Amino acid sequence: MRILVLRALGLGDLLTAVPALRGLRRAYPDAEITLAAPGWLTDAVARIEAVDRLLPTDGLTHIGYDRPDLAVNLHGRGPQSVDRLMATRPRLLITHDEWPEDRHEVLRWCDLLEQHGIPCDADDLRLLPPGPRTERIVVHPGASHGARRWPVERFAAVVRELDGHDVVVTASPPELEAARRVVPEPVCGGLAQLLDLVATAGLVICGDTGVAHVATAYGTPSVLLFGPMSPSLWGPRTGPHHVLWHGGTGDTFSSEPDPGLLRITVDEVLAAVEDFQPVTAGRGARP
């Protein structure tokens, strides 16, 4: 049996779909499961252990696949995503007929498969860490859109207060210049390096971005800064995480920081960091 799954989105989107992908694997243990997703996610897809092949697909472009026995739309509800999958001429298509607006992203896709007789465990999203946990604190100031980017000056203030700890500031190539305003030499490597850093960290501090979902997947304690999107829809459902959110919603694709995100102060973040002992034990008093 040949199964094609569409999830041509980002890192966080991929990780929220892990329980659904693993549900598919359990339901069809002998099937060849192909995931249509961006090629840069290769290292993350390999760690899910539910997919046989990654078919590089950037966004809702042509999917180079023909006649799957089953096509599963974990991308959206259409019409574009449905059209792209129908163009592969599947024998059967699973997709949302109705879109549950106020449903957590993990549960949304588990619900879809369960409606078609494929059981899923929404808590089955953990990845196996590559090594033991350290006391390192990973700070990731970037995010995919400006609405989710807490000001770099505030990240820099947090990092200064963590002086004396093993702090690593991470960035993707497009985020590098902004990250340099936090520390002179941020870590800007490949996806595998980022995954390993977060997996073995003692604490992660970041916004509502893919790194937050990596921390959730590895059970890494985290302080997460939410702005335009409610954490009840995209935040961690369980685990050692402290989510800061001031209760408002807005345009998650805006180029400007969300007003609610800007209401989160440096002191709030530092207070949340203090909840995670002994990682932050011994942080000096603020001048």
- CA 195 to chain CA centroid, Å, is 11
Q: How confident is the model at residue 283 (pLDDT cuts 50, 70, 90)?
A: very low
Q: Mean per-residue pLDDT for 260-278?
A: 91
Q: How confident is the model at residue 280 (pLDDT cuts 50, 70, 90)?
A: low
CA-to-CA distance for 134 and 105, rounded, in angstroms? 30
pLDDT value at position 83?
Answer: 96
Tokens of 242: 């402290």
In the chain, the amino acid numbered 33 is: I
Q: How confident is the model at residue 276 (pLDDT cuts 50, 70, 90)?
A: confident
Question: Does the structure show a pLDDT above 90 at 287?
Answer: no
Q: How confident is the model at residue 286 (pLDDT cuts 50, 70, 90)?
A: very low
pLDDT value at position 279?
Answer: 56
Question: Does the structure show a pLDDT above 60 at 172?
Answer: yes
Question: Does the structure show a pLDDT above 60 at 278?
Answer: no
Q: Mean per-residue pLDDT for 115-132?
A: 97
Question: Does the structure show a pLDDT above 90 at 248?
Answer: no
33 vs 280, which has greater pLDDT? Answer: 33
Q: How confident is the model at residue 277 (pLDDT cuts 50, 70, 90)?
A: low
pLDDT value at position 101?
Answer: 85
Question: Do the beta carbons of residue 227 and residue 258 sit within 8 Å?
Answer: yes
Question: Do the beta carbons of residue 44 and residue 16 sit within 8 Å?
Answer: no
With 0-12 / 13-18 / 19 or more C-beta atoms within 10 angstroms meaning exposed / middle / buried, residue 103 is middle
Q: Mean per-residue pLDDT for 86-92?
A: 98
pTM of the model: 0.94
pLDDT value at position 96?
Answer: 95
pLDDT value at position 152?
Answer: 97
What domains are defined for the chain?
A: 2-116 (3.40.50.2000), 137-275 (3.40.50.2000)
Q: Mean per-residue pLDDT for 140-158?
A: 96
Question: Do the beta carbons of residue 28 and residue 94 sit within 8 Å?
Answer: no
Question: Does the structure show a pLDDT above 90 at 182?
Answer: yes
